[in-house]
Amino acid sequence: MPRAARLVVAGHPHHILQKTFEGRPAFYDMGDYFAFLEQLRRFRDQYRLEILAWCLMPDHFHLLAAPEKTDALAKGIGSTCLVHSQHLNRKYKRSGHIWQARFYSAVVDRGDYLLAAARTIELNPVRAGKVRRAEEWPWSSARHHLTGRRDPLVN
């Protein structure tokens, strides 16, 4: 039986969650984080995604992103994950899957839930015990939202 079609509403924010296969790391060092962010920035521009909030964790990532077109989420996130898998496999001389087969996404209302979704995403490292305050985690948009520091990924 075919899987259910993903609900994507162009112009509306979506909470996106992508986990790694079997909880394996997606980021082994700072270079891996920077490579992923560069890939995401490239595909954000190519597929016209508006990124409102983001957080990279060692074995998963969250985004709050609004696609301009309905196919932009699948293409943008899919391309980012594919290229990052290739990067890791090449760098660490291995092969195989990095990510679970399909990312989770849910449409987010632009009302009160939008702010709650961004907070949930940016507080992820605090809940995981990685940092005490969200703005201490270098791999999220929390610094941008809490201190006004420019974030090249948030557009």
Residue 52: exposure state from Cβ atoms within 10 A (0-12, 13-18, ≥19): buried
49 bridge partner residues:
67
| pLDDT of amino acid 154 | 96
Domains of the chain, CATH where assigned: 14-110 (3.30.70.1290)
Instruction: Quote the pLDDT of residue 5.
Output: 55
User: Taking Cα atoms as reference points, which of 1, 68, 77 lies closest to residue 39?
Assistant: 77
The string of pLDDT tens digits covering residues 68-107 is 999 999 999 999 999 999 999 999 999 988 999 889 999 9
Q: Are strands 14-19 and 104-107 parallel, antiparallel or unpaired?
A: antiparallel
pTM for the full predicted model: 0.93
pLDDT > 90 fraction of the chain, expressed in percent and rounded: 88
